[in-house]
Chains A and B, each alone.
Chain A
């Protein structure tokens, strides 16, 4: 079992003292990367939930200790050179942010832990009920030496906030809507309570940064302004240490830009960013301020003059800037799951650590029709659509990116309005061909264009070259599904316009000096069924049958002769996914909406074999057996969530493994973040698999990708390993194993569990509210005689008048 696909940018990373290593929070672990090669060296594993903060203990270059905090409610202390856990403090509240001022306050002697080290934690108060106005976020003080929470709650906020600390360790603060709260960390042995000031603004703040030496705070707001207060807290904080506060008179004229009675000398505003600020950080010498936002440009402000320098074309929204003790090295975290290492004065990207591309949101209209993932099951790759009109190929076995293919030749600026969406991507069985569909969004209703593209690659590295582009493959209608023929070079595309097309690749050998393969795709056949929108398509395992869903019915075609073979139906909701269950003669259909359904159709009997009323997110079929796995959403009913069964805590989906002949699932796993997730059976080669399954070579591996693009690979048939994984399950991605009794225990509970065996082949004739839609349908023997029909038909067209005959 291997997991991966973690986000590298869920929390700010941290440099080691010698700046040769970078500690990155990756899911439940902290990964240590080398800054010179960009390769992962080791990982610190032990947390059971997302790690939210990592703080390296400063000091000697040889020191390699760090504190981490996590949503599992623990603070841990590690030696990251040896990857050893040294101490665990259990707070029992999810920790969202942590700062330890004592580490920065100049105690850089070799002492590993200061005697009275306090950490300030931003925790979520989970004991409160879900009242809408509840203040769930708390700032608490925690004694690291005594391993307990100490003191009172410093502040309460609606949500847990991120704590910012000044590099000197003297001040730390949070934003709270339109206010900033700044505390001064108490001196080492002072018993004074923590002093606090508040600064106000007219807009919501997004974040703040504190100057390393001066009393200066910079804060960004949602409109892209940067506000800089100088000399904050001169009145309140000055009692302890008499710092330079020449202008602390209380005359309003002397304090430009200060709102009300805020405790600061002056406030200046800079405005360059068009949208909210995500990144704000002072340089280590305090002369510069770095800022960044959604537009993906790092701005370098000279603090005294306000002069700007830019690092543009990063290509993704910026999240964090981390500087190291080596002044020439910084790390810039971007929203596309990349960490760029910057050579600092020149702001030059020297290296990038990139992970799996994170999900992005496309306009809602297209959300439903976008295919989420395409899997190459032999190489163990997943193809993901990325925000910048690319397809990323990510190796699930190696947990690293293989290549990116630019689908649309178009520059992506993160702030821009989306004008093109890559909606569908499909890979051929051997992984050598790819087809994509992109939609140019219409501007003011004009110019919408659908484009179908075929790609071919020759090498293992997935360097795909465009071979054919088809503009408007189905006239103006959108493409609903793409499917490759399992063996031949054949693709079917189905459209909402009511037809499907079969495309074939014609290979030609050019008579040049060297044989260049010229392969163009062309339309081979067109089919339609009653002008109904075609919503899904699939080839059978041997490629002899093509199943196309015409909204609620399934039509079966002979793809070579373009002949309708049979019609199956009908469902209550449009079918969104079709899939043949491996080499067995079963076909799966999935419909969503108000009446979701998973149906298994027997091809030999041309009838429904069994069905479940389950809301299915994704389905995958093993290639050479009749088993298939579905990812189903857990119903939102309170009986489930409120049940005291621990296996469903925080889970919103289940993976069910079925044999197509049997409606009782073979196995079940509950997972998190199933909405938008994906499943796939991978074959891989046996050499890689052996390392996953402890030397055994399993039949197939099941890959589950959740909505955050974290994934896990496991052997679905390995019943022996269940127990083992159950213990490990929690700290891995999001998959917990449940033993078989888990299913039995909920079997009775499933409220919408309904087996519909013996579905009739022919749906009964049922008169509906709009009779002319159904009045003429139906086989001849149960049709009404013409006069009756006429009467009813005319009647339905006419308005009924309530006049009485005199």
Chain B
């Protein structure tokens, strides 16, 4: 892979990370919208508004300017949230410093011939409105960011300054040629001196807390970490090795965050466009830290011959998500069409980014390949027609379906019967057996159902139910209650009142079940239920949400109630019919009698018919779920 070189690129993100400025130094600056991934605007020939003055003789054309450094300046005055307060500050090879108001698309101010020779570095403190520039003449200039007035100038070095940085609090400044100097900004006194870099330092930054300086010189394959308050110590406190020289540095340090968060985070980009990320709890740990590499996956052989393979050419540490991992915003790809990504980098896990070839003009031979691939992309769209569900997980076969539902149905019904389950465990055991029996049988012979068999089986089951209920009734708590006999109201009340509320509630459940299963005549059961409801209504109400006895009672009552009307109708019609027959044959007396009997025994009939009906009709199986 031909290593692309991003040395000559100047890049800058704006503070809110939604704009990205890139220039190769030839006077054209492209501003990319990082959110959309599009070019927002381009500055080719910046003409300041007041250029009609004496400086107008300057030659025009973007090739006449060469930018040597670029920084996006913000003053941290968050209260006045003016959108226009961010400036792109540029230094030129001719010693000019200019500021662009990117949003307005115009030059804000320009300091002509600020330095004799090229401007080599721009830096500013986090708070404050001054911008500091350093030049090849060894001078440091302080410029007011709002007006562009030169506020001060002092000589920091006798040699050309290659890099310069101002600490976050704006109190000290570091300048570097080959030798690094720390100066106090207020009185320009030298505080400290570091020597160790063999060549000119290319990039240098203060850590956020101002305790360390990170620096890297041209041709060096490491980043040196210098301790500022280390007194006379002359050597670097840590050296972070890289495979290629660094062109860009960024760091975060958290001094007193939550436990485990504290540490130094260093981000660097090498000349070939690989991003390195270190984390250490302190400088000592940082020394031994292994870098986490973020690189763009090398393209296929086609692009190797081509100039410039995709690289990471800008990155910024956005923040620290949690300990040992940082949120990094990177610009990757080719400088002609960068793409922007947010990455969460965990220390120790390398990241390979895939690159896209969007917006790249390729020679014809390759564009064929490209177009082929384009077809591929189209071919990859899967189209399904209306028979799309053929090999889908089967929508539960019909029988299985009803089985499932029945099971669920049983289960739910069983939940309702929990009262009884409380009373006797055996019932809860017999319950599932019952359901299984019923359903298995149901499944097997759905084709031809022998009604008698079914009736019998269910009849037996209901007998079982009866037995359990009876056994419950016979249990110790309910000795005083004799369901089968007709007790006077007062006696009944006394019996109910004598019981503990929880017992009565259980009894209520049992009674409801009895009535439901018709194991005992309603004539006997209903007075008991009535009595319990009257005398223990509060307790019953309080228990209701869990057990729903009342609701099932209500339901049963309702259904019975609904049955009354048709029953009366039926009996009425039968009477009518009988009367007519009677009229015709004059032998009606007996039948009428018989009819009356039938009417009375209706309750028992229902029992049978209900089961009968349920197995007859499949639809009813399904629809019976309605109510669950």
Contact = CB atoms under 8 A, between A and B. Distances in A.
Interface of A: 20-21, 34-43, 83, 395, 398, 400-403, 458-461, 465-473, 475, 499, 501-502, 513-514, 516, 518, 520-528, 530, 553, 561-567, 569-570, 606, 685-687, 691, 758, 760-767, 776-789, 791-792, 805
A528 B405 CA distance: 12
B103 A762 contact: no
B386 interface: yes
B623 A782 contact: no
B627 A778 contact: yes
A570 B84 CA distance: 58
Interface string B383-410: 1111011111111100001001100110
A791 B389 contact: no
Interface string B597-611: 000000001101111
Nearest to A395: B35
Given A38-B41, A761-B551, A780-B624, A788 B558 contact: no
B436 interface: no
A553 B386 CA distance: 27
B620 A765 contact: no
A459 B570 contact: no
Best-surrounded residue of B37, B82, B340, B566 (most CB of chain A within 10 A)? B566
A37 B102 contact: yes
Contacts of A460: 339-342
Contact of B393 (A472, A562, A687): A562
Given A460-B342, A767-B562, A788-B566, A37 B104 contact: yes
A139 to B, nearest CB: 37
B628 A762 contact: yes
A782 B559 contact: yes
A765 B383 contact: no
Contacts of A83: 82
A789 B558 contact: no
B381 A784 contact: no
B300 A514 contact: yes
B613 interface: yes
Contacts of B412: 566, 606, 761
Nearest to A472: B386
B83 A42 contact: yes
Nearest to A531: B622
A85 to B, nearest CB: 15
Nearest to B607: A785
Given A765-B627, A778-B626, A786-B616, A563 B404 contact: yes
Contacts of A525: 392-393, 395
Given A461-B339, A469-B382, A760-B554, 8 more contacts: A37-B41, A40-B83, A471-B384, A513-B300, A516-B380, A526-B395, A562-B395, A778-B623
B413 to A, nearest CB: 7
A588 B557 CA distance: 31
B383 A686 contact: no
B516 interface: yes
Given A400-B36, A527-B396, A780-B611, A686 B554 contact: no
Interface in B549-580: 551-552, 554-556, 558-559, 562-563, 566-567, 569-570, 576, 580
A777 B35 contact: no
B105 interface: yes
Contact of B41 (A36, A516, A566): A36
B559 A765 contact: yes
Given A461-B36, A471-B385, A765-B558, A776 B393 contact: no
Given A468-B384, A521-B382, A789-B613, A41 B555 contact: no
Nearest first, the 6 A-B pairs at minimum CB distance are A785-B609, A36-B105, A782-B559, A520-B382, A777-B623, A37-B105
A39 B380 CA distance: 38
Contact of A782 (B37, B558, B566, B620): B558
Nearest to B381: A466
B510 to A, nearest CB: 16
B448 interface: no
Given A467-B380, A778-B624, A764 B555 contact: yes
Given A467-B382, A783-B559, A398 B18 contact: yes
B327 interface: yes
B377 interface: yes
Contacts of B380: 467, 516, 518, 520
A786 B605 CA distance: 10
A378 B394 CA distance: 35
A123 to B, nearest CB: 32
A522 B341 contact: no
B337 to A, nearest CB: 12
A784 B409 CA distance: 19
Contact of A566 (B408, B610, B616): B408
Contacts of A792: 566
B36 A403 contact: yes
A687 B319 contact: yes
Best-surrounded residue of B31, B381, B393, B516 (most CB of chain A within 10 A)? B393
Q: How large is the interface on B (under 10, 10 to 19, 20 to 34, 35 or more residues)?
A: 35 or more
Interface in B145-193: none
A767 B377 CA distance: 59
Given A395-B35, A758-B544, A34 B395 contact: no
Contacts of B83: 39-43
B569 A791 contact: yes
Q: Which secondary structure characterizes the binding site on chain A?
A: mixed
A783 B620 contact: yes
B388 A470 contact: yes
Nearest to A470: B384
18 contacts: A39-B105, A400-B18, A460-B341, A471-B385, A472-B386, A473-B384, A522-B382, A685-B327, A687-B318, A764-B555, A777-B620, A780-B611, A781-B516, A783-B559, A783-B620, A785-B608, A785-B610, A791-B570
B40 interface: yes
Best-surrounded residue of B101, B413, B616, B624 (most CB of chain A within 10 A)? B624
A562 B396 CA distance: 8
B626 A777 contact: yes
B388 A522 contact: yes
B580 to A, nearest CB: 8
A777 B627 contact: yes
Interface string B523-553: 0000000000000000000001100100110
Contacts of B622: 530
B434 to A, nearest CB: 13
Given A37-B40, A37-B105, A400-B35, A764 B613 contact: no
Given A523-B388, A564-B396, A780-B614, A34 B103 contact: yes
Contact of A776 (B84, B545, B617): B617
A761 B550 CA distance: 11
A563 B103 contact: no
Interface in B1-59: 16, 18, 31, 33, 35-37, 40-41
B515 to A, nearest CB: 10
B392 A776 contact: no
Interface in B218-263: none
Contacts of A562: 393-396
Contacts of B445: none
Contacts of A521: 382
Contact of A786 (B340, B554, B613): B613
Nearest to A566: B408
Given A469-B381, A525-B393, A789-B613, A784 B563 contact: yes
A786 B563 contact: no
A316 to B, nearest CB: 19
Nearest to B302: A513
A465 B378 CA distance: 10
A459 B356 contact: yes
A435 B90 CA distance: 46
B106 interface: yes
A395 B36 CA distance: 10
B126 interface: no
A782 B613 contact: no
